[in-house]
Structure 1
Amino acid sequence: MDDSGHSNLDYRNLFDLTGKRAVVVGGAGGIGRELVAGLVAFGAEVVVADRDLAAAQDVTSTLEGARAYELDVLAPQAIPRAAEALDPVDVLVLTAATNIRKRMVDYAPEEFERVVALNLRSSFELISAFGARMAQRGSGSIVAFTSIRAVTVEPGQGAYAATKAGLMQLVRTAAAELGPDGVRVNAVAPGVVETPLTEQIRANPEWGQAYSDKSALGRWSRPDELVGAVVYLASEASSFVTGSQLFVDGGWTAIDGRYTPPT
């Protein structure tokens, strides 16, 4: 504090990630590649960890300060090996996920297992493996990607929604367990985002427009609009934030959205 009672922090540096190593799991995906670019822009050294090594290398080919690492999170012992090979890691971002849109009564057991394995079990293992090493060093930030489906559902989203709600509970528990060792754990919850995975929805004009109309902003999100939230949670700007879920959903979960009455 100075004589006026103000902090001596240089607030312009709050978002600076210079000297930090970040690992983006699923970093070759539509959202992941934007997060990689954003973290690099703020000074981080970024590892693009993805099961598609060629796609990860494509992401890193134009980004100085980024490198590719082949990681299939469902392969036995792949996560502990990655945690050891990439150590030390200051920031871990989890974006890898899958969805099978079916009514619960039509789900096959193997489909349910596939969604749970990637969305929930691998997240548990990643948080455990990387979080343990962060705790040993006394610092770190983990950012998981949940979804609006963690709190609100629609037909055909049962397994996906359950994994995202479960992931948020893992985030809260990890925040409680790792917080005393200086590790923060939070989540970003996107709404509907323009990525290759949502092309099926946007290809249906009625479906795509209905999703646009549901949010307060009346449109879909671009992948780059999620970068700010991740940089914030990765940086010292959020030094007292843990166990939280930051919605980047255009107001989807804030409003009713079914009908705008005359006023």
Structure 2
Amino acid sequence: MSAGAGVFSLHDRVAIVTGASRGIGHAIARGLAGAGATVFGLGRSPAAQGDAAAFLYRTCDVTDSTAFGSLVEEIFAGQGRIDVLVNAAGITLPAQAAGDPSAAFRQTIECNLTAVFECCRVVVPCMLRGGYGSIINVTSIGAALGFPGNPGYVASKGGLAALTRALALDHSAQGVRVNNLVPGYVRTAMTEGSYADPERRQARAARTMLGRWGEADELAGAAIFLASPASSYVTGTDLYVDGGWAAKGL
């Protein structure tokens, strides 16, 4: 394998990124496109926020497996391949803000875990036909650490981390790699409530080794690595992009 930028190239690759209307998914979609991939960014919003000119945006709710399947068929028919799937769509419904905590728990599991399984189930056969596949599941430091007041989110991300390892084992012999991309506290619309509170913002920054929150664009490089031949011997693992949060002791 040659060294240099070529090992990270996604030229001639086709990628699908869910949750691409904003935040981490949007940043990853732009990053993969910048590395040479043809990127289809999916989101529930009618249009992506910010600069989405780098990728092709499609409106799709990933919890609707029928709609997602039809869109994947359309992409595969038009492109002849699907090489990369980034599952970045997700929701958080804190228990204290939920009118019905049980319903909020089920809804979070449906979006953050069950929908990811269905997306993978639909896309993997397309990858097998092309002989190459990289699936990147965006989890959270909450997948391995306890966080208060949000059991549905923690359970969904913990389950997703385990699902990644199961799928990596099931598809490793077929040339499909599956990995977790694990963000820490990143400033997005989803975390704006914490960021807007000076006390919580400062406490979370102080908990990291780098002493600050992350930006969504800082996830793009890790996603390019996991999507590209640079990570050809990497599967079933967790790549933390958390400013050192999980590794920090006292």
**TM-score bracket for the superposition, by shorter chain length:** over 0.9
Partner of 1:114: 107
Q: In the aligned structure 2, how far is the partner of 1:187 from the partner of 1:118?
A: 17
The reply to whether residue 138 of structure 1 matches residue 120 of structure 2 is no
Q: What aligned pairs does 1:137-216 form with structure 2 within 5 A after superposition?
A: 137-216=130-209
Partner of 1:249: 242
Partner of 1:55: 48
Q: In the aligned structure 2, how far is the partner of 1:195 from the partner of 1:85?
A: 30
Q: In the aligned structure 2, how far is the partner of 1:138 from the partner of 1:205?
A: 49
Q: In the aligned structure 2, how far is the partner of 1:43 from the partner of 1:76?
A: 28
Q: In the aligned structure 2, how far is the partner of 1:76 from the partner of 1:158?
A: 25
Partner of 2:220: 227
Q: Deviations over 1:41-86 (max 9, x none)?
A: 1111111111213227x643x32xx211121112251222122122
Percent identity between the two aligned chains = 37
CA contact (8 A) 1:142 1:185 kept: yes
How many angstroms does 1:226 deviate by? 0.5
Q: Deviations over 1:203-249 (max 9, x none)?
A: 11111111001111111001111111100000000001010110101
How many angstroms does 1:106 deviate by? 8.2
Q: In the aligned structure 1, how far is the partner of 2:121 from the partner of 2:211?
A: 38
Provide the aligned length of Structure 1 versus Structure 2. 246
How many angstroms does 1:149 deviate by? 0.4
Q: Deviations over 1:133-188 (max 9, x none)?
A: 21233211110100000100121121111110100111111111111110111110
Any idea what SS the aligned residue of 1:96 has? coil
The reply to whether residue 82 of structure 1 matches residue 71 of structure 2 is yes
CA contact (8 A) 2:104 2:152 kept: no
After superposition, the CA RMSD in angstroms is: 1.9
Any idea what SS the aligned residue of 1:189 has? strand
Q: Which runs of 4+ in 1 moved over 6 A?
A: none
Any idea what SS the aligned residue of 1:161 has? helix
Q: In the aligned structure 1, how far is the partner of 2:62 from the partner of 2:31?
A: 23
Normalising by the residue count of structure 1, what TM-score does the alignment of the two structures yield? Answer: 0.88
CA contact (8 A) 2:24 2:217 kept: yes
Aligned in 2, Cα 1:181/1:76: closer, same or farther, shift over 3 Å?
A: closer
Q: Deviations over 1:99-132 (max 9, x none)?
A: 1112699852211111011001100101111012
Any idea what SS the aligned residue of 2:86 has? strand
Tell me, which stretches of 5 or more residues in structure 2 are unaligned?
none
Any idea what SS the aligned residue of 1:14 has? helix
Q: In the aligned structure 1, how far is the partner of 2:115 from the partner of 2:51?
A: 23
Per mean C-alpha deviation after superposition, the further-off stretch among 125-134 and 104-113 is 104-113
CA contact (8 A) 1:53 1:68 kept: no
Q: In the aligned structure 2, how far is the partner of 1:94 from the partner of 1:244?
A: 15
Partner of 2:62: 73
Aligned in 2, Cα 1:213/1:106: closer, same or farther, shift over 3 Å?
A: farther
How many angstroms does 1:10 deviate by? 4.3
Q: In the aligned structure 2, how far is the partner of 1:122 from the partner of 1:176?
A: 20
